[in-house]
Amino acid sequence: MSLELFSSLESILILALIITPIISGVLVTFLKKKKIIELVTVFSSFLILIEGLILVNSILKYKTISVFDGIFYVDSLSGIIIITISLVGFLSSIYSISYMGKQYEKLIIDEKKLVRYYQGFNMFLFTMLLVPISNNMGIMWIAIEATTLVSVLLIMLYVKQSSIEASWKYLLIATVGLSLALFGTIFFYYVNTADVPLEEDALGMNWTNLVENASGFDPNLVKLAFIFIIVGFGTKAGLAPMHTWLPDAHSEAPSPISALLSGVLLNCAFYGILRFHIITSNSIGSHFSNTLLMILGVVSIGIAAASIYFQKDLKRMLAFSSVEHMGIVSVAIGFGSVIGIFGALLHIINHAVVKSLLFFASGSISQKFETKLISDTSGILRIMPITGFAFLIGGLAIVGMPPFNIFMSEFLVLSSGFESENFLPSMLVILFLVIIFAGFGKHLLKMVFGNPKQTIKKGDLGILSIIPMLILVSIIFVMGVYVPEPLQTLIEDTSQILLVGDLHN
């Protein structure tokens, strides 16, 4: 069942979803008082979460929703991305009060930078939310490019040499990558409108129109276009070897922004790949795009394994972990089986939850120990009992230990690899995961259980830093043994979207 409406609850929800962070950003600009802009941002993020959940409920009911003459279009794939953005965005807004408040108290940032932070935070949510609701692939590209421009300003918030260098590196590499993605988007538009009357060209960029017409596309141009797409959006998604911006940018950003970058933004970029993967599969079958996704996924996990094992900086280690997990999602989609796709979609959500927890915990830890160096951080559990517990749970979850949530999705991914007879990639993934387990585990155990190297006052950093972490810990435990039925339905519906277009297998 499809919903085509111009005036409905769903059209209001979609509009509210992107207007809410804009209004919040404007209010922050004019109000400026610390407590007020914190409350405004938390309230607007909470509204976004409620709006997102109601919209996802409508998606479960109607399957697809198209409003405003098809400008906005959402389906279950959109729903998965909306859930991750709204959940992590809300928890990050709560955590920001504690984290940025401590920075403000220590005079690391002044009132102007605090206002700039909350302006950027709200605009970051706006640009990311625009991605999964856009039917026009050109608008989707603009939204992903806009996430780059907004997040660059957040990464260089401290105006230090290291943060400025990381920002410029991120801006240059991501912009070049997205330029290639733009070429790919234009190629898809061309093959869709080559034989279409000029007055009908306006629909040529709509994803729904591209999917409908894909079976008649020139196969050679489709292959070329998808190569541009996977390299371009893959750069922004953190797939190796285009990932080089990611460790610098994520490690220099404020920790709440690192959580959004790693847990959410990478998903938005991968969402773009998935949309074009569906078009490509409709046109020439899934083998070509699956093979590229599988290769880049295995390379990403391999590079992450080597980097994590020898890493010295905590936030850089977490950033390389994001490269690993985007690689796992890519491999899973590449395997092409129902189980693998289900596992990939579940992994997108699981990774967003666990990585956000780890960046929140690492932010509190680095503030308490006044360092990001792994070698100078030990005895976390003794100094910060709740934060140390959350960091331990997040660390065990991120390496795939049962009974935590990532174990479930990684098990599905690996099962699909053997089921689809992709034995070599599956064995390589297992090998790299073992190396990551050893490297991450070595760092984790020393940091959590070791003896503190310095005298540090015991105690966690406050209730507003703890609440978001405990919520995420609860989700990790629940999702490790049970996938809620609405979420399971959403993932199953998305799996069908990714599989139904496979016309040539």
Q: What mean pLDDT do residues 465-490 have? A: 95
Give the pLDDT band of residue 252 (cuts 50, 70, 90).
confident
**Chain-centre distance for alpha carbon 471:** 19
Report pLDDT for 282: 92
Report pLDDT for 201: 58
Q: Does the pLDDT of residue 6 top 60, yes or no?
A: no
Residues 489, 471: Cα–Cα separation, whole Å? 23
Give SS3 for 157.
Answer: coil
Residue at 371 is within a domain: yes
Report pLDDT for 70: 85
Residue at 213 is within a domain: yes
Report pLDDT for 504: 33
Q: Beta partners for 64?
A: 2
Give the pLDDT band of residue 505 (cuts 50, 70, 90).
very low
Give the pLDDT band of residue 413 (cuts 50, 70, 90).
very high
Residue at 48 is within a domain: yes
Average pLDDT, rounded, for the chain: 91
Least confident of 133-142, 358-367, 493-502: 493-502
Q: Does the pLDDT of residue 51 top 90, yes or no?
A: yes
Domain total in the chain: 1
Q: What mean pLDDT do residues 212-227 have? A: 92
Token pair for 427: 């064995």
Give residue-wise pLDDT tens across range 423-439: 999 999 999 999 999 99
Residue at 211 is within a domain: yes
**Chain-centre distance for alpha carbon 122:** 16
Residues 52, 390: Cα–Cα separation, whole Å? 27
Nearest to 98 by CA among 357, 361, 369, 461: 461
The CB-side HSE value for 212 (13 A sphere, CA atoms) comes to 8
Residue at 505 is within a domain: no
Token pair for 504: 């040539």
Burial of 317 (0-12, 13-18, 19+ CB in 10 A): buried
Q: Report whether 232 contacts 183 (CB < 8 A).
A: yes
Residue at 17 is within a domain: yes
Q: What mean pLDDT do residues 464-470 have? A: 95
**Opening angle at CA 135, ends 130 and 140, nearest 5:** 45
Radius of gyration (C-alpha) of the chain in whole angstroms: 22
Which pTM was predicted?
A: 0.94
Residue at 185 is within a domain: yes
End-to-end CA distance of the chain: 26
Residues 502, 467: Cα–Cα separation, whole Å? 44
Residues 298, 172: Cα–Cα separation, whole Å? 25
The torsion angles phi and psi of 64, rounded to 5 degrees, stand at -130, 145
Paired sense of beta strands 72-74 and 64-67, if any:
antiparallel
Give the pLDDT band of residue 7 (cuts 50, 70, 90).
very low
List of E strands, 23-118: 64-67, 72-74
Q: Does the pLDDT of residue 57 top 90, yes or no?
A: yes
Residue at 301 is within a domain: yes
Alpha helices in 370-484 (DSSP H): 380-383, 385-398, 405-419, 423-449, 463-481
Residues 354, 357: Cα–Cα separation, whole Å? 5
Count the helices and strands in the chain (H runs, E runs). 20, 3
Alpha helices in 370-422 (DSSP H): 380-383, 385-398, 405-419
Q: Does the pLDDT of residue 243 top 80, yes or no?
A: yes
Q: Report whether 117 contacts 24 (CB < 8 A).
A: no
Helix (H) or strand (E) holding 5: strand 2-5
Structural domain harbouring 478: 2-500
Q: What mean pLDDT do residues 64-70 have? A: 88
Nearest to 283 by CA among 198, 201, 187, 196: 187
Report pLDDT for 198: 47
Exposure b/e, 88-124, CB count within 10 A at least 16 = b: bbbbbbbbbbbbbbbbbeeeebeeeebbbbbbbbbbb
Q: In sequence order, which residues have a C-beta less than 8 Å from that of residue 323 and are 6 or more positions away?
A: 238, 239, 240, 243, 246, 300, 303, 304, 307
Give residue-wise pLDDT tens across range 181-202: 999 999 999 998 766 554 555 5
Residues 242, 261: Cα–Cα separation, whole Å? 16
Helix (H) or strand (E) holding 496: helix 485-500
Report pLDDT for 390: 96
Q: Does the pLDDT of residue 128 top 50, yes or no?
A: yes
Report pLDDT for 10: 83
Report pLDDT for 160: 85
